[in-house]
Structure 1
Amino acid sequence: MEAQDTAQRLRTITGELADRFYERADVVRTLVVTLLAGQHSLLLGPPGTAKSEMARELTARFDGAAYWEILLSKFTAPTRMFGPIDVAALTRGEYRQVYEGRATTAHVAFIDEIFKCSTAALNETLGYLNERIYHPENGGEPIRCPLIGAITASNELPTGEDSAAIYDRLLVRIEVRYLEDPSNFAALVRSAVRRPKPPTRTTVELTALRQAVTEDVPAVEVPDGIVDAVCTLRAALRRRELIASDRRWRQAVGLLQASAYLDGRPAVAEMDLSILTHVLWDSPAERPTVEREVLHLVNPDAREALDLADAMDELEAQLDAMAGQSREALSEWVIKKAHNKLATAGKRLEQLREEAMSAGRSTTVIDRVTGRQRAVRARVLTEALGVDASTVQARL
């Protein structure tokens, strides 16, 4: 019952944060799953996409957990991360560090601008993330750190070999973009001028989180059918020349178990494979291919939604190409092409969402594509027809 209670509380936390951060439900859930698996995550996206705020809000939900946060730069010294020199002790001829409040004592951590880690701190950071150890400045015995998992963030991909070594150690990589759905953007703007209600703050005790990470999640069954599906996915990606290391595949199993645990299930199911869309790519350009291959196995509704997203991209490209043309030409294009495609896509996405919900499948991708459809629709209304999209309720 305790394990079920912890999973339920974590689901509640996920829901609370998803309500607070528009279009971030999948991001929040993925961060929770990653922590449950005892792994580290990367939030990759431009400034102003709530990466830091999400990480702080989530990590604040663990009662009793020591939290550590830092914004790295090329000049960040290892002692600033892991413990400054004790000046008082130094005056007595003793060389020791003060570890309290630093990475060495943290249970959860948020490391911003992770790829700006200094060369001097690189090896210690790798050891901290990989093995949860820190080698003191005085050369003493390595210190075991109680870190459960770190959430990291960056506005850009790594560019050098040093930062690439850190990138390789971040199992889960989540792209965070600006809001797509115009209605969500409008709600965000309104929230800046309205006094929000105090948010509900469900929490989980540190002891319960540790129990989940060390005992409950590893106890989740991985059926032979899931192993076969993973092997099939690996072969499909290799045909696309997308190669992930054996270590990454092995660590990904823990994510599958954590996903099932969070949903309150005793065994991994096909739907849990969707978490792998955040694991098996190196560059964002590879992510769509990985996503399609994963969804080919687990979610036909979402796979069709991605095809509709391609149609939205094509419409937007056509709109860009028509920049500068007369309002008459743009109106004709809307009547003959854009209107039907947008309306058909909107209706089909509604149907796909209903079918997915009836079957108990995730609607994350469908919701994302729906936001994309609404964003393209708003552009068409504004740029092609000269209509204020925010005042129009009816669909095209």
Structure 2
Amino acid sequence: MQAAENTPQQNESPREKLLRAERSVSERVFEREVHIRGLSVGILARAHVLLLGPKGCAKSALSRLYCDLIAWDGVPEGQDPYFRTQLRPASTEDEIYGPVSNAGFEDDTFRRNTTGMVPRAKLAVLEELYTAGSLLKSLLTIMNEGLFKNGTLPEERVPLRLLIATSNDVPADRDENLDAFHDRFLLRYQVDYLQDRRNVRKMMERANSSEAAAREAVSPILTERDVDAAIQEARKVDVSPVFDAIDEILAELADREIVPSDRRREALVHLVKAQAYMNGRTAATRADLDILAHALWEDPDGDQIRAVAEVVLRQANPHAAEARDRFDRATDSYNNAMRAHREAARNPGDEALQRAESDAGMNANVALKQTTDKLLELRDAAKTAGADTGLIDGLLKKVLEMNEEVTSKCLGI
């Protein structure tokens, strides 16, 4: 598998290499396509990425695999091409900036030996981010201005392209300093456990086979020159065709008292440029605005994330927004049928409950079939408009699964 994925294609562009890198990671960590795209957009837009989720949902594996796919210049053989560490409440600056240099004392300077540490890294992965507390404040200048003050030495520019951080959650009682640090992550993603039972099965089957080791090993697909070329091309993308749509998103969010900082609002342009580039466009369309669903929420409570996704989706992909509404209505019919089935199962001798189960099952079956037809229609319309169909495809799969359960349990078919 590795040989095929890393075989250079004839006249392969940097964008095509990035897409191949995304496929390589998605083959190893399931249901993470959206998060993987976020890392690509992050590196093109120089936008740091925060991955939030429970332990054991492959946040670290996702980060490591993506970073391994880029070969950076000037990295000694055998040395990791990126910096990675797991933070703790007791973590010190030595762990991310390097230990104090003894040689510095000989010439009356205070400086750190930064070799192999964050100030020398082009990519950095900080795990369990928010356990480190006050230490995080020291990263603000590196993350935003790309500058590092090494002791008494003059301030210097760092080569950091992208910082990926993982955490189980964001502190609810964060102070002003931690709030400023949190705002430096322009892209924020929630990572959940696998939802599709078939993917859980595939994961277990792979763990039971020789492919388990293959998941852990990837070879670089992109060079630093490829990344630089992709960044330059992404910067050329024209975002002005969607300025009105971005204005509408921000205005509706303001009505809901969700107001991003000026820094973040300015950065939205660069995120859309990168997303449009990855989608193969030189001018952004509304379909490229879907990336903003991961850039405009502040607190990881479900209500705010859902509100932002809803507002963005209506502008970026109205077909998907309608599909979600249709799905929600069909889910109500499904839930009614499942409640009737449980009641009938608990009272097998009650004829009224048996009839109620059958009626609810038939109603749900009709509603789910109609929803399936409508989702297929919306998917075709989204394709024609050049919009992503991933959300509609996912809803369509769930509707088909629900109808299969209804016909089996309620109708005995």
Q: TM-score range by the shorter chain?
A: 0.7 to 0.9
* Maintained 8 Å contact 2:14/2:227: yes
> What is the CA distance between 1:377 and its match in structure 2?
6.3
> What is the CA distance between 1:305 and its match in structure 2?
2.2
* Maintained 8 Å contact 1:260/1:266: yes
1:89-121 Cα offsets, whole Å, 9 max, x none, are 6689875421111001000111112212231x2
Number of aligned residues: 382
Which position in structure 2 is the counterpart of 1:216?
A: 233
Choose from 78, 82, 85 the match for 2:100: 85
The letter of the residue matching 1:307 is D
Choose from 305, 313, 318 the match for 1:287: 305
Name the CA distance, whole Å, in 2 between partners of 1:376 and 1:114.
39
Choose from 285, 306, 318 the match for 1:300: 318
Which position in structure 2 is the counterpart of 1:356?
A: 382
Q: Relative to structure 1, is the Cα distance of residues 320 and 97 closer, same or farther in structure 2, using a 3 angstrom cutoff?
A: farther
The letter of the residue matching 2:321 is R
SS in 2 for 1:117: helix
Mind listing any 5+ residue stretches in structure 2 that lack a counterpart? 1-9, 74-80
* Maintained 8 Å contact 1:49/1:178: yes
Choose from 172, 190, 206 the match for 1:175: 190
1:277-313 Cα offsets, whole Å, 9 max, x none, are 1111112421222222222223122112221443366
* Maintained 8 Å contact 1:59/1:67: yes
* Maintained 8 Å contact 2:238/2:273: yes
Name the CA distance, whole Å, in 2 between partners of 1:168 and 1:255.
15
Choose from 280, 284, 297 the match for 1:268: 284
Which position in structure 2 is the counterpart of 1:110?
A: 125
Name the CA distance, whole Å, in 2 between partners of 1:60 and 1:4.
19
Which position in structure 1 is the counterpart of 2:165?
A: 152
* Maintained 8 Å contact 2:110/2:152: no
SS in 2 for 1:248: helix
> What is the CA distance between 1:36 and its match in structure 2?
0.5
Q: Relative to structure 1, is the Cα distance of residues 180 and 11 closer, same or farther in structure 2, using a 3 angstrom cutoff?
A: same
Q: Relative to structure 1, is the Cα distance of residues 20 and 122 closer, same or farther in structure 2, using a 3 angstrom cutoff?
A: closer
**Higher relative contact order (Cα pairs below 8 Å, separated by 6+ residues):** 1
Decide which moves more: 155-164 or 324-333.
324-333
Q: Which has the larger radius of gyration?
A: 2
Q: Relative to structure 1, is the Cα distance of residues 377 and 191 closer, same or farther in structure 2, using a 3 angstrom cutoff?
A: farther
Which position in structure 2 is the counterpart of 1:37?
A: 45
Superposed, 1:363-382 pairs within 5 Å as 363-370=389-396, 372-373=398-399
The answer on 1:332 being equivalent to 2:370 is no
* Maintained 8 Å contact 2:341/2:357: no
1:201-246 Cα offsets, whole Å, 9 max, x none, are 5611112213433x332222223x3112211222222222221222
SS in 2 for 1:349: helix
The letter of the residue matching 2:138 is E
* Maintained 8 Å contact 1:277/1:291: yes
Name the CA distance, whole Å, in 1 between partners of 2:267 and 2:13.
26
Name the CA distance, whole Å, in 2 between partners of 1:117 and 1:380.
49
* Maintained 8 Å contact 2:26/2:36: yes
The sequence identity of aligned pairs, in percent, is: 27
TM-score (norm 1): 0.84
Name the CA distance, whole Å, in 1 between partners of 2:53 and 2:397.
18
Q: Relative to structure 1, is the Cα distance of residues 381 and 201 closer, same or farther in structure 2, using a 3 angstrom cutoff?
A: farther
* Maintained 8 Å contact 1:41/1:152: yes
Cα RMSD (Å): 3.3
Which position in structure 1 is the counterpart of 2:270?
A: 254
> What is the CA distance between 1:57 and its match in structure 2?
0.6
TM-score (norm 2): 0.81
The letter of the residue matching 2:245 is A
Q: Relative to structure 1, is the Cα distance of residues 46 and 376 closer, same or farther in structure 2, using a 3 angstrom cutoff?
A: farther
1:146-196 Cα offsets, whole Å, 9 max, x none, are 001111111112232143332111111112112222222222222222322
SS in 2 for 1:20: coil
Q: Relative to structure 1, is the Cα distance of residues 309 and 79 closer, same or farther in structure 2, using a 3 angstrom cutoff?
A: farther
The letter of the residue matching 1:359 is A
> What is the CA distance between 1:248 and its match in structure 2?
0.9
Name the CA distance, whole Å, in 1 between partners of 2:91 and 2:405.
44
Which position in structure 2 is the counterpart of 1:391?
A: none
* Maintained 8 Å contact 1:181/1:372: no
SS in 2 for 1:268: coil
1:322-348 Cα offsets, whole Å, 9 max, x none, are 897451559817625544444444444
Mind listing any 5+ residue stretches in structure 1 that lack a counterpart? 388-395
Name the CA distance, whole Å, in 2 between partners of 1:271 and 1:240.
23
The letter of the residue matching 1:108 is L
